[in-house]
């Protein structure tokens, strides 16, 4: 299976001292690969998997795990080995809400079915891989698990399975189970990608699946504001204002993501199921008012059923599910509050 991220040579004993260049030289940074053993939920017994990770921050500081959606990767922020901005650059860095002057962040590239001998990959598998990686790196305690979207699901699985080593769960826009409407929308996305695989038009199919996903991430209010104009005639064809944006986003995604990885991680969301009563770690939940993919009602239910104290903060936004990526200013203070005390 082709991975979306350029494969690199496995470095099972990568040195813990490759300093980040564009960032403060006070940070340590490992961006490497470790082989760890997990027992996949849908597999046939224990299995060795290569986990690609980034571990970055103040030397000796406590470690937080930070994980995003299925299309996010380990590069939460720029580092010496990856100078482009990370997917959560606004929140992770020196002086940011997740302050690399005070903590270290551990993040992985999600495992997919290619890593698991084609078996479905579960949110528990990702959580177990993170726990095994922490063992391999000698990290005894994870001060907090900050997860958004699929990352929040994996955070819940981690909290349920590895409570003894976890201080705090911070879950943004993710719940104990997917909503059936969102599952239906993802099932259609997977159907489109599979159609492309079966008929030799993978790129166009993956682009359409991404376009569909975007219509579930964003709110009607945002699209109405941006694309409320009339159809116009261009090159003999009628074009609607929203079509250019959708197709541009589709193309961008195809350039950076792999179709089979998309199938595996999309399915993983829909297989996710964690009993909130099994989560005995204090939690801060953050929801987005216009999120149609993860309705606030599901976060309210989660909050009420968790077995340890949990807060729920709601961010007003027009960006729907993507609020965790777009509402930098509103999310930052909530993260700071949730992480207050971590790294002290």
- Catalytic hit among 149, 207, 219, 266: 149
- Helix (H, G, I), strand (E, B), or coil: what is residue 153? helix
Alpha helices (H) along the chain: 123-137, 150-161, 180-199, 202-217, 220-226, 241-256, 259-271, 296-305, 323-326, 328-338
Angle 71-161-15 from CA coordinates, rounded to 5°:
60
Instruction: Decide if residue 187 touches a second copy (CB under 8 A).
Output: yes
- DSSP structure string for 184-237: HHHHHHHHHHHHHHHHT-HHHHHHHHHHHHHHHHS-HHHHHHHS-S--EEETTE
**Alpha carbons 54 and 218: distance in angstroms, whole number:** 29
Instruction: Decide if residue 191 touches a second copy (CB under 8 A).
Output: yes
- Token code pair at residue 119: 């078996």
Residues in 204-233 at the binding interface with a second copy, rule: CB under 8 A: 204-205, 208, 211-212, 214-215, 218-220, 223-224, 226-228, 230-231
Instruction: Decide if residue 200 touches a second copy (CB under 8 A).
Output: yes
**Alpha carbons 59 and 299: distance in angstroms, whole number:** 35
Alpha helices (H) along 108-201: 123-137, 150-161, 180-199
- Catalytic hit among 73, 109, 125, 291: 291
Q: Which of 34, 292, 321, 326 binds a second copy (CB under 8 A)?
A: 292
Instruction: Decide if residue 123 touches a second copy (CB under 8 A).
Output: no
Stretch that binds a second copy, among 67-75, 146-154, 179-187, 299-307 (CB under 8 A): 179-187
Nearer to a second copy, 220 or 341 (CB): 220
90 included as an active-site residue: no
Intra-chain end-to-end CA distance of the chain, in Å? 43
Q: Which of 163, 242, 296, 332 binds a second copy (CB under 8 A)?
A: 242
Could you tell me if 314 and 288 are in contact, meaning their C-beta atoms sit under 8 angstroms apart?
yes
Instruction: Decide if residue 180 touches a second copy (CB under 8 A).
Output: yes
Instruction: Decide if residue 118 touches a second copy (CB under 8 A).
Output: no
179 included as an active-site residue: no
Instruction: Decide if residue 196 touches a second copy (CB under 8 A).
Output: yes
Instruction: Decide if residue 183 touches a second copy (CB under 8 A).
Output: yes
Instruction: Decide if residue 197 touches a second copy (CB under 8 A).
Output: no
Nearer to a second copy, 232 or 340 (CB): 232
- Catalytic hit among 162, 176, 272, 321: 321
Nearer to a second copy, 137 or 212 (CB): 212
Could you tell me if 238 and 232 are in contact, meaning their C-beta atoms sit under 8 angstroms apart?
yes
Report CA-CA distances (Å) from 265 to 39, 114, 126, 239, 303: 18, 11, 11, 32, 25
Task: Find the shortest distance in angstroms from Cβ 114 to a second copy.
Answer: 17
**Alpha carbons 166 and 330: distance in angstroms, whole number:** 26
Task: Find the shortest distance in angstroms from Cβ 196 to a second copy.
Answer: 7
Nearer to a second copy, 25 or 304 (CB): 304
Task: Find the shortest distance in angstroms from Cβ 22 to a second copy.
Answer: 37
C-alpha count within 13 angstroms, C-beta hemisphere, residue 338: 29
Task: Find the shortest distance in angstroms from Cβ 200 to a second copy.
Answer: 7
- Helix (H, G, I), strand (E, B), or coil: what is residue 160? helix
The residues of the shown chain that bind a second copy, judged by CB under 8 A, are: 42, 120, 179-181, 183-185, 187-188, 191-192, 195-196, 198-201, 204-205, 208, 211-212, 214-215, 218-220, 223-224, 226-228, 230-231, 238, 240-243, 246, 267, 270-271, 273, 292, 295
Residues annotated as part of the active site: 149, 291, 321
């Amino acid at each position: 299976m082709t991975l979306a991220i350029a494969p690199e040579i496995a470095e099972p004993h990568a040195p813990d001292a490759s300093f980040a260049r564009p960032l403060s030289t006070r940070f340590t940074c490992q961006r490497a690969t470790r082989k760890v053993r997990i027992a996949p939920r849908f597999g046939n017994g224990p299995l060795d998997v290569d986990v690609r990770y980034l571990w970055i921050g103040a030397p000796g500081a406590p470690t937080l795990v930070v994980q995003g959606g299925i299309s996010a990767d380990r590069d939460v922020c720029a580092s010496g080995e990856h100078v482009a901005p990370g997917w959560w650059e606004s929140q992770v860095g020196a002086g940011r809400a997740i302050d690399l002057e005070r903590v270290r962040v551990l993040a992985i590239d999600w495992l997919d079915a290619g890593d698991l001998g084609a078996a479905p990959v579960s949110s528990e598998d990702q959580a177990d891989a993170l726990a095994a990686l922490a063992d391999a790196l000698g990290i005894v305690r994870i001060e907090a698990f900050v997860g958004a979207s699929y990352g929040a699901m994996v955070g819940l699985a981690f909290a349920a399975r590895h409570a003894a080593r976890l201080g705090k769960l911070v879950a943004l826009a993710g719940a104990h189970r997917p909503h059936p409407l969102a599952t239906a929308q993802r099932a259609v996305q997977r159907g489109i990608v599979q159609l492309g695989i079966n008929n030799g038009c993978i790129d166009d199919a993956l682009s359409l699946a991404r376009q569909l996903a975007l219509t579930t991430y964003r709110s009607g209010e945002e699209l109405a504001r941006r694309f409320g104009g009339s159809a116009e005639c261009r090159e003999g064809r009628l074009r609607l204002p929203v079509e250019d944006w959708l197709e541009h986003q589709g193309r961008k995604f195809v350039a950076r993501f792999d179709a089979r990885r998309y199938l595996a991680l999309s399915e993983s969301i829909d297989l996710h199921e964690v009993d909130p009563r099994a989560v005995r770690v204090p939690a801060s939940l953050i929801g987005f008012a216009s999120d149609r993919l993860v309705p606030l009602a599901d976060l309210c239910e989660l909050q009420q059923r968790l077995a340890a104290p949990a807060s729920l903060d709601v961010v007003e936004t027009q960006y729907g599910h993507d609020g965790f990526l777009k509402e930098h200013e509103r999310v930052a203070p909530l993260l700071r509050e949730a992480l207050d005390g971590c790294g002290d």
